[in-house]
């Protein structure tokens, strides 16, 4: 496929992120109006899952169906990768069968290797460095609620993980200010942080890494958190839960943000740990709208990257 595009990082949509968000809005409106939109009729998507998933799997599978296509779920148990076939060979073979590959992986290097050897578009459904599909949905949700992105302030409280990395890049691209409050040693990826800083200078936005969650939350338009223990970190559970306790997104923190601030969490949530029940179920929470928007954002990504819409 000549000139095929991959979505491995938020940097891959740097030039057309705003257009992608607009496309997500148009597709959502058509879906809600019951108007069929099937640019992927006759197309197939291979979905490779090394990690368990609720939102990623369901939104991609339903999204492909609604766009007129077909999605194929493949776990390591279903593939010869689990028995030693190389990622490169898997990429070459799957490219002969399908029109796109979505890969939810443990390691960024594996996603890059798959993309380098596939002749069809590869979409990163999550790896240890980034979660770009999540952040496309997040930015879409913020714009939907606030009518703009540029100049808004997002406070992220907790672990500087893959979601945080993609948020840093995404907010910098669209000109949002972002403050990350995290414990020492749990900062975002240094390389991606440096790239986000360069982008924020270009768009005139600010990017701060700090220790104090209260300082991050002040005057924020968006409060965002994620799990303290990601998949693969179970051995660190006790230590992390103790260390991150002061970084809980609770009512006290919410009162420091702007009056019309919204609360976000990419789910699954560990209620009572990184976020309290009264906040996730409270009037400022857009968490379940955010989860729904994974479907609409994913459909925009599929339509753009596979059908070239």
For the annotated catalytic residues, the residue numbers are 104, 131, 134, 226, 266, 294
Q: Which residues pair with 72 in a beta bridge?
A: 46
Closest CA to 96 of 177, 4, 168, 1: 1
Q: Is 154 exposed, middle or buried (0-12, 13-18, 19+ CB in 10 A)?
A: buried
Residue pair 102/46 in contact (Cβ under 8 Å)? The answer is yes
- Rounded distance, CA 17 to CA 187, Å? 25
Q: Where in 142-273 does DSSP place strands (E)?
A: 153-157, 177-181, 207-210, 222-225, 262-265
Residues 6+ apart with CB under 8 A from 13: 7, 20, 132, 136, 173
DSSP code for 86: -
């Amino acid at each position: 496929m000549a000139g095929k595009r991959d979505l491995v990082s938020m940097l891959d949509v740097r030039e057309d992120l705003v257009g992608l968000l607009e496309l997500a809005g148009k597709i959502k409106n058509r879906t809600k109006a019951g108007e069929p939109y099937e640019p992927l009729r006759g197309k197939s998507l291979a979905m490779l899952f090394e990690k368990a998933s609720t939102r990623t799997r369901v939104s991609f599978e339903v999204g492909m169906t609604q766009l007129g296509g077909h999605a194929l779920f493949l776990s390591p148990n279903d593939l010869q990768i689990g028995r030693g076939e190389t990622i490169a060979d898997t990429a070459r073979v799957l490219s002969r069968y399908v029109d796109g590959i979505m890969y939810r992986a443990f390691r960024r290097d594996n996603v890059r290797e798959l993309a380098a050897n596939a002749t069809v578009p590869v979409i990163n459904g999550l790896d240890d460095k980034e979660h770009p599909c999540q952040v496309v949905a997040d930015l879409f949700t913020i714009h939907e609620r606030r009518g703009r992105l540029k100049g808004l302030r997002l406070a992220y409280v907790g672990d500087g993980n893959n979601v945080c990395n993609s948020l840093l890049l995404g907010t910098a691209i669209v000109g949002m200010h972002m403050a990350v409050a995290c414990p020492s040693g749990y900062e975002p990826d240094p390389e991606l942080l440096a790239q986000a800083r360069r982008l924020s200078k270009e768009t005139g936005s600010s990017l701060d890494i700090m220790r104090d969650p209260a300082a991050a939350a002040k005057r924020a338009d968006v409060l965002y958190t994620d799990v303290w223990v990601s998949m693969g970190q179970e051995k660190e559970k006790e230590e992390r839960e103790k260390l991150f306790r002061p970084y809980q997104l609770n009512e006290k923190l919410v009162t420091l943000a702007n009056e019309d601030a919204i609360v976000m969490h990419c789910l699954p949530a560990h209620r009572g740990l990184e976020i309290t029940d009264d906040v996730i179920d409270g009037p400022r929470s857009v968490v379940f709208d955010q989860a729904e928007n994974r479907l609409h954002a994913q459909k925009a990504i599929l339509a753009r990257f596979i059908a070239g819409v």
